[in-house]
Homo-oligomer: A and B are copies of this chain.
Amino acid sequence: MSAATASRVLSGRGPASKAARQRVAAAATELHYVPHAAARALATRSGTRIAVAVGGQTPHTLNDPYVGRVLAATAKTAAAREVGVSLHWLPLHAPDELARLAENRGIGGVILVNPTKPALAAVPKSLRGRIAAIGIGSRDVPSFDVDNGTATTRVVQHLLAGGRRRIAMITGPPWLPCTHRAVTAYHRAVDQAGTPPRLVPGDFTAARGEAAATEIMTRWPDTDAVFALGDLSALGALGALRSAGVDVPGDVAVAGFDDIAFAALSRPGLTTTTNPVEDIAARAATAVLDRRRSSSLTFYPSTLVLRESA
């Protein structure tokens, strides 16, 4: 049996008879055969790792626990295919980092995390079919994202059902496009209820959540609910409110987004919505590894988790 036939069977490409398949499979399992990823990558110029490129204003973005979750899920998925992962910061206003990734022959594919419109516009053609986004996508970049629009609607409706009528929202960073979907949903929901919109920009950090809550209570002292896009900000807001002597949820309800571990540990427990990041990252990784050309747009459902804070 020739090497070529074995290769065809193992890679699943090209013709192969039943008999050949079986013999190869038998030999492979018996010899504990593991394909040599580097040799394959060299021959197919497919690259040996996939790059996780995270958009953000500072390299500090890479320390966000959210990035850790994405990376771990990606690494687990890729490891099964003998592919590694590397981590890169994508500065907001210097998208030529993408060109460098595209030219690097070691990189088989790219997963964009929190890309901006300019970043998507700067995606080199050579990356087509081997790039995916966790966040917004484009014609060339399939998108895998959490359905934060529907989630926002559910949160606001829950707050309204609980009798809240002056609901403020702490948004994500304004440069982050997926923030917009949530803000739009928020606007629609409060409009329908005939209650006033109250928006304050956030950045997903706890510190900003604290400041934002203070700002909200100063500008609109009669606010009776705060919804923060991101649990860290929600927890920051919760802390600031309690320090100011505001009772949560008595005076003001607080809700978050992401359902991080600490949401359950806070007192009162934080009402929030789930973010199936691991699942999303695994799908995005699979799409990149399979070189799917589809320009799809997939939303993953987020479910409301009711605790004491709202």
Residues of A within 8 A of B (CB): 32, 34, 36-39, 41-42, 47-52, 62-63, 65, 67-69, 71-72, 75-76, 78-79, 82-88, 103-106, 206, 232, 235-236, 239, 242, 261-262, 264-267, 278
For A232, the chain B residues whose CB sits under 8 A away are 261, 265
Residue of B whose beta carbon sits closest to that of A76:
B87
Give the dominant DSSP class at A's interface.
helix
Measured CA separation A249–B51 after assembly (Å) = 46
Measured CA separation A36–B155 after assembly (Å) = 49
Can you identify 10 A-B contacts, CB atoms within 8 angstroms? Answer: A34-B104, A38-B38, A49-B83, A51-B79, A62-B72, A63-B278, A65-B68, A68-B69, A75-B87, A82-B106
Measured CA separation A65–B72 after assembly (Å) = 9
State the number of copies, please.
Answer: 2
- Contacting pair A105 B36 (CB below 8 A): yes
Q: How far is the CB of A294 from chain B (nearest CB, A)?
A: 25
> Which listed residue, B68, B83, B103, touches A84 by the CB 8 Å rule?
B83
> Given the interface contacts A79-B87, A87-B72, A265-B236, does A41 sit within 8 Å of B34 by beta carbon?
no
Measured CA separation A32–B104 after assembly (Å) = 10
> Given the interface contacts A34-B104, A262-B262, does A75 sit within 8 Å of B71 by beta carbon?
yes
Q: How far is the CB of A231 from chain B (nearest CB, A)?
A: 10
For A79, the chain B residues whose CB sits under 8 A away are 51, 86-88
Measured CA separation A75–B265 after assembly (Å) = 30
- Known contacts A39-B42, A79-B87; 11 further A-B pairs (Cβ under 8 A): A38-B105, A49-B49, A50-B84, A52-B75, A62-B72, A67-B72, A68-B68, A82-B106, A236-B265, A262-B266, A266-B266
> Given the interface contacts A38-B106, A48-B37, A265-B235, does A72 sit within 8 Å of B63 by beta carbon?
yes
For A69, the chain B residues whose CB sits under 8 A away are 63, 65, 68
Measured CA separation A309–B141 after assembly (Å) = 48
Measured CA separation A281–B291 after assembly (Å) = 32
> Which listed residue, B50, B71, B86, B103, touches A68 by the CB 8 Å rule?
B71
For A264, the chain B residues whose CB sits under 8 A away are 206
Q: How far is the CB of A309 from chain B (nearest CB, A)?
A: 13
For A103, the chain B residues whose CB sits under 8 A away are 32, 34
Q: How far is the CB of A234 from chain B (nearest CB, A)?
A: 10
